[in-house]
Structure 1
Amino acid sequence: MDTQTTYYKTPIGTAKIVGDENGIQSVSVLDEDFSTALEVTESDIPECLQECVTQLEDYFEGKRNDFDLKLNPQGTTFQKRVWDELLNIPYNKTRTYLEQSKALGDVKAIRAVASANGKNPIWIIIPCHRVIGSDGSLTGYAGGIWRKKWLLAHENPVKQQSLF
């Protein structure tokens, strides 16, 4: 089957979704504003990408904490191991690059792990935004640090304390 593409307008940019019957290959965020040029209706979304759009919509509406999609990211064996490990970081939690390296069994691979995180082709669904620097800093994010900050705040909203 040919690879299909659709677009979905999120609160932090237009998502470009690519995949086929074998799964989602990529979800990337575009810096350009395609909102006027891309009025995608539900009937325009290829069937193999509809569930991805629905689940992203639920995520941004605060109704979904995890994704249940068939994924088919393209990368090296090592990159795929790193991306699989990212899927183990729970919603509303973060992990440092060092912790990520330890989870993969090699603390010395921290730079390779960070590099693979940066090449993650499936934005949000494979949650590389949940990986932070050892000092708690929001280091490196292909979609822009402001988006990483937004996503982490979206997943962990500050609740107003009751005074009474």
Structure 2
Amino acid sequence: MPTPAPVRLFLDRTPSPIGQVLLVCDEEGRLRAVDFHDFEPRMLRLLRLHYGEAVLQPGAAPATTRSALAAYFDGDLAALAAIPWATGGTAFQQAVWRALCNVAPGTTLTYSGLAARIGKPAAVRAVGAANGANPLSIVVPCHRLVGADGALTGYGGGVERKAWLLAHEGARARD
């Protein structure tokens, strides 16, 4: 069952070196979703999943959110931690997403490694599913998860963007 929708959700768009980024915030200024312009249908699907039929209204994201994202793309890799966010999802998904925030910029972790970190070492596939349902890409850094052999695996914004983000953060990943 979807989490009750915030009263209103606002959609903003901001440029980045890897394409226009969509930012969805609530009335309190908390980030609820982030995606790339060419994956807007996916973002809308995730919003419906978490909030039901919430209607997006045009509106500016808080200046602090926009500036933190710009700072990240300018090289301040710690800037994303300052962005307040909230999202729907199951308790398991929330645990995965919180654990993703503890994967340091410039490092990668395997899906099995993240499963172990949350105390569910047998839940590798469930971790992968939760990672794929993350509505807060970049900010909740799902791009830092890699395959068991260190190879890049799927990313909601495209594997090319995943590779760019990892290179931007100084992480070395295998193709």
For the aligned pair, the TM-score class normalised by the smaller chain equals 0.7 to 0.9
* Equivalent pairs, count: 146
Q: CA RMSD in A?
A: 1.9
Residue 111 (structure 1) aligns with: 125
- Which of 6, 27, 33 is 1:26 aligned to? 33
**Cα distance in 1 between the residues matched to 2:124 and 2:77:** 30
Alignment partner, residue 70 of structure 2 = 57
Give the distance between the partners of 2:144 and 2:121, measured in 1 at CA.
18
Secondary structure, aligned partner of 2:20: strand
Partner of 1:161: none
**In structure 2, what is the equivalent of residue 128 of structure 1?**
142
The Cα shift of 1:104 comes to: 0.9
Quickly say closer, same or farther: Cα 1:22–1:75, change in 2 above 3 A.
farther
SS in 2 for 1:5: strand
The superposition leaves residues 23-82 of structure 1 with CA deviations (integer Å, 9 ceiling, x where unpaired) of: 1100111227xxxxxxxxxxx963x53211111101111134242121112212211111
Is 1:13 paired with 2:19?
yes
Tell which structure's C-alpha radius of gyration is larger: 1
Which residue in 2 is equivalent to 1:41?
A: none
Alignment of 1:1-164 (within 5 A): 1-20=7-26, 21=28, 23-31=30-38, 46=60, 49-67=62-80, 68-156=82-170
Which runs of 5 or more residues in structure 1 are unaligned?
33-43, 159-164
Corresponding letter in the other structure for 1:51? T
CA distance in 1, matches of 2:148, 2:170: 19
**Conserved? CA contact 1:6–1:49, under 8 Å:** no
TM-score by length of structure 1 reads 0.82
Using the size of structure 2 for normalisation, the TM-score is 0.77
Measured after TM superposition, the shift of residue 22 of structure 1 is: 5.7
Please give the per-residue CA displacement for 1:66-106, whole angstroms capped at 9, x wherever unaligned: 42121112212211111000000011111110100000111
| Residue aligned with 2:126, SS | helix
Contact 1:22–1:72 (8 Å) recurs in 2: no
Distance 1:66 1:89 in 2: 14
Partner of 2:55: none
